[in-house]
């Protein structure tokens, strides 16, 4: 059994179906990755656990119930009495473009590493194969909790746990760009597998091209880099080898790109966990992301999951 944990925030999602009607769901970048990895690894000896904090309200309980149905472990979820999850509303305009309104300043997940929970987490994750987090994970925490998380990453890596990180830069989540740069850089320095998107990195660090981005990440000590480029595929640069371009998987019709990167990350981690080399894992990741974007919303139906073991 290989155990993987993802850490971050899942929120209540309200999506406009018309001007006055909202549909209820749940969503979050690291949760999306956890879910797709749990589906892929169900019969491969991969157990995925989610790390976050929720309240003791009915919506928090619904989230937990849904995660368990997908095979995601919830023993690492803190329940904070009297607290609530964050919430966001999706509105789609006449061109199909989506906009988001967030209500998350008092979300339980913002305090997930307080009151000694950081030390408890480091102990409970000892022996895990991998811990995955994103820039959104960092953005919801205050400076003290971010530093506690960095200490936890150091401790886990010293015990053999790999750290995978996607910067997933969202400017609205950060008060200042220099603060985002600082903490993203701290995470990259503690990262074994980097899974960023080129557009995000260029917005955050101002690099002019792929080579500059790759060199910065390599200089930070990242051993394995997978730079996502949307519809242009990705660049894979394993330690001790040359970088290579991996073309995108073919897609019949793009319906919704929500969670394309999250599903890609899940596919890549799955590939590496079952023993594929980085290029092979990237090809698996591309197939999963290509399947996802042919369905609306972050989570496609289970029956639509592609055969990730097909060559």
Residues carrying an active site annotation: 262
Cα–Cα dist 136/109, whole Å: 11
What angle is formed at CA 194 by the lines to CA 117 and CA 124, rounded to 5 degrees?
A: 25
**Which of 54, 73, 74, 69 shows the shortest CA–CA distance to 12?**
54
Residue pair 164/278 in contact by the 8 Å Cβ criterion:
no
Angle between helices 58-69 and 29-41 (to 10 degrees): 30
- Report the candidate in 267, 150, 139, 269 with the shortest Cα–Cα distance to residue 204: 139
For residue 259, what are the CA distances in angstroms to 171, 263, 298?
18, 6, 5
CB 168 within 8 A of CB 141: no
Structure tokens at 203: 């917005």
- Reading the block at residue 144, the tokens are 């003290």
């Amino acid at each position: 059994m290989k155990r993987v944990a993802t850490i971050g925030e899942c929120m209540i999602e309200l999506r406009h179906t018309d001007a006055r009607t909202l549909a209820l769901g749940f969503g979050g970048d690291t949760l999306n990755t956890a879910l797709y990895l749990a589906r892929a690894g169900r019969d491969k000896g991969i157990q995925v656990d989610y790390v976050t904090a929720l309240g003791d309200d009915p919506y928090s309980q619904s989230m937990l119930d849904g995660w368990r149905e997908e095979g995601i472990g919830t023993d690492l979820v803190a329940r904070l009495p009297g607290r609530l999850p964050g919430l966001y509303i999706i509105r789609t305009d006449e061109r199909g473009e989506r906009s988001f309104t967030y209500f998350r300043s008092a979300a339980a997940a913002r305090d997930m590493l307080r009151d000694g929970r950081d030390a408890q987490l480091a102990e409970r994750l000892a022996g895990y194969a991998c811990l995955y987090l994103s820039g959104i994970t960092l953005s919801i925490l205050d400076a003290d909790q971010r530093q506690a998380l960095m200490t936890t990453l150091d401790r886990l890596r010293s015990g053999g746990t790999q750290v995978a990180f996607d910067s997933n830069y969202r400017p609205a989540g950060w008060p200042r760009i220099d603060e985002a740069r600082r903490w993203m850089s701290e995470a990259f320095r503690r990262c074994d597998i980097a899974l960023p998107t080129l557009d995000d990195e260029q917005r955050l660090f101002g690099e002019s091209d792929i080579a500059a981005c790759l060199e910065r990440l390599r200089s930070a000590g990242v051993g394995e880099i997978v730079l996502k480029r949307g519809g242009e595929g990705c660049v894979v640069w394993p330690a001790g080898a040359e970088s290579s371009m991996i073309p995108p998987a073919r897609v019949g019709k793009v319906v919704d790109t929500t969670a394309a990167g999250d599903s890609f990350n899940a596919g890549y981690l799955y590939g590496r966990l079952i023993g594929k080399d980085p290029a092979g894992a990237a090809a698996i990741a591309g197939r999963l992301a290509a399947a996802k974007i042919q369905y609306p919303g972050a989570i496609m139906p289970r029956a639509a999951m592609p055969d990730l073991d097909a060559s």
